[in-house]
Structure 1
Amino acid sequence: MRQLLSSLSYFSIFFAPFIFPLIVWIASTDSYVIMHSRRALISHILPFASAVPLLILTFGADNPGSVLGYIILFIIIYLGTFIYNIVKGIQVLREYE
């Protein structure tokens, strides 16, 4: 059961990116599940936290090429965390107690 809740925290990027890991983190008493739900929550927040400085830099940029660079950087960060969540969800499911 603990692997299932932990992996669902990572897989929640598909259905409830912020809410599910937060609920699991608050409601769980198992330290293993808490650790993974906290990591999943941070990995869900990371792309949007990185979007704020990128948006500020984009509006202050005079060159259209730099705007495109910022957009590409955001896409790389988002895809990286998306793949990370999928890989960690599979790894947690494959762990044995």
Structure 2
Amino acid sequence: MENNKIISALCYASLLFAPFLMPLIVYFVMKDKEVRYHAKRALLSHSIPTFLSFLLAIFGFIGMFSVDYHNMGGFVTLMFVMMAIYFLVTLGIIIWNLVQAYRVYRPGF
């Protein structure tokens, strides 16, 4: 039982050292329902920053070649705003994952 708590907590904390990979492996290897539940939640929360970074990269790549020189200032400002939003969302997800890891592992849960 204690090992299941450790594995579940590591799925959330793996955002810092093995994002996306560890929850995926744990989900397919472990048979315990609770561990698989936490692995699935961790995998979903790890995929949000990845998806947002791909969207930001695609938008930046398309905008870089489609914006003319006179409108470049507005595009750069928009990219900085989008990067700030991405940073805040990612920071919130990191904090959420660490809180979830603590909640899963704490005694009495």
Structure 2: how far apart are the matches of 1:89 and 1:25?
16
85-94 vs 44-53, which moves further: 44-53
| TM-score between both structures, scaled by the size of structure 2 | 0.80
| TM-score between both structures, scaled by the size of structure 1 | 0.89
Give 1:28 deviation, angstroms.
0.6
CA contact (8 A) 1:13 1:82 kept: yes
Q: Identity across aligned pairs (percent)?
A: 33
CA contact (8 A) 1:3 1:95 kept: no
Paired residues in the alignment total 97
Amino acid at match of 1:89: A
Give 1:50 deviation, angstroms.
1.3
Give 1:90 deviation, angstroms.
0.2
| Equivalent position of 1:9 in the other structure | 11
Structure 1: how far apart are the matches of 2:37 and 2:15?
17
CA contact (8 A) 1:58 1:66 kept: no
| Equivalent position of 1:38 in the other structure | 40
| Equivalent position of 2:82 in the other structure | 70
Structure 2: how far apart are the matches of 1:95 and 1:27?
25
Aligned residues: CA RMSD: 1.6
Structure 2: how far apart are the matches of 1:43 and 1:53?
16
Amino acid at match of 1:20: M
| Equivalent position of 2:51 in the other structure | 49
Q: Which runs of 5+ in 1 are unaligned?
A: none
